Amino acid sequence: MLAGIHSATFSKMDICVPDAGVAARRATRRQAGLTLVELLVALGLFGFVLLAITPLFMASVKSNFSGNEYTSIHVLARDRLEQLMNLPFNDPQVSPGTHDVVLPPVLPNGAPNPFRLNYEVLQFRIPASESVQTNQSFVPTPVTSPEQTVQYKRIDVTVSSGTGPIGIGARTARVSGCLSNPFPQPLAPTPVPTP
């Protein structure tokens, strides 16, 4: 040991270095918050992520709208077919030909009605029994004159819609049903009531 110098243990805190406290405070301040540059970089990255995700959200909105419209079209077509199938066989609404149905111009939610509904009724007869073998398929014959026997009617209901508010495109649904004649004989023309 040297004379006058005591051996002692020193820690870094005991050593007095000028401006050590200021440097420590600056380091602490840098780590405590974000600088403007760091904030701008984070916002830029967030913007790129949003740009990548936005088309997914738009596709989801279009898909949901399209599914909702397809459901509405099919429900409307099925509903009208059920109404027609429950009518008597010789009701004027199921007379042969194409029929346009007038729908309300506005939907219950206040939006304009994009749907168009029409249906076609075709009359058929089964070929003579001697030309059709038992348990075999056959091609029905369209009825073209009132003297021919009508055994059933095929009803084709078609519902279509325009492009809609988000421009997805037009769609069409078609459902069909057969109405059997309970009395298969030549039908007399149905008189139309006059007012």
State how far the Cα of 92 lies from the Cα of 102, in Å rounded to an integer: 16
CB neighbours of residue 123 within 10 Å: 24
Quote the Cα angle for 170-173-177, to 5°: 160
Under 8 Å CB-to-CB from 189, ≥6 apart: which residues?
A: 146
Among residues of the chain, what percentage have pLDDT more than 70?
A: 74
State how far the Cα of 164 lies from the Cα of 166, in Å rounded to an integer: 6
Under 8 Å CB-to-CB from 152, ≥6 apart: which residues?
A: 123, 124, 140, 178, 179, 180, 181
State how far the Cα of 125 lies from the Cα of 143, in Å rounded to an integer: 6
The residue-averaged pLDDT of 119-143 equals: 84
Under 8 Å CB-to-CB from 75, ≥6 apart: which residues?
A: none
More confident residue, 85 or 146: 85
More confident residue, 68 or 129: 68
State how far the Cα of 166 lies from the Cα of 168, in Å rounded to an integer: 6
- pLDDT, residue 110, reads 85
Q: How far is CA 7 from the centre of its chain?
A: 86
Could you read off the pLDDT of 55-86 as tens digits, one per residue? 898 889 888 888 888 888 999 999 999 999 99
Q: Where are the beta strands (DSSP E) in 9-151?
A: 97-101, 115-125, 141-142
The residue-averaged pLDDT of 160-171 equals: 72
Total residue length of the chain? 195
State how far the Cα of 170 lies from the Cα of 101, in Å rounded to an integer: 19
Could you read off the pLDDT of 2-49 as tens digits, one per residue? 455 555 555 555 555 556 566 556 655 556 677 888 889 999 999 999
- pLDDT, residue 5, reads 53
For residue 23, what are its two tokens?
């440097």
Whether the per-residue pLDDT at 141 is higher than 80: the answer is: yes
The residue-averaged pLDDT of 159-163 equals: 82
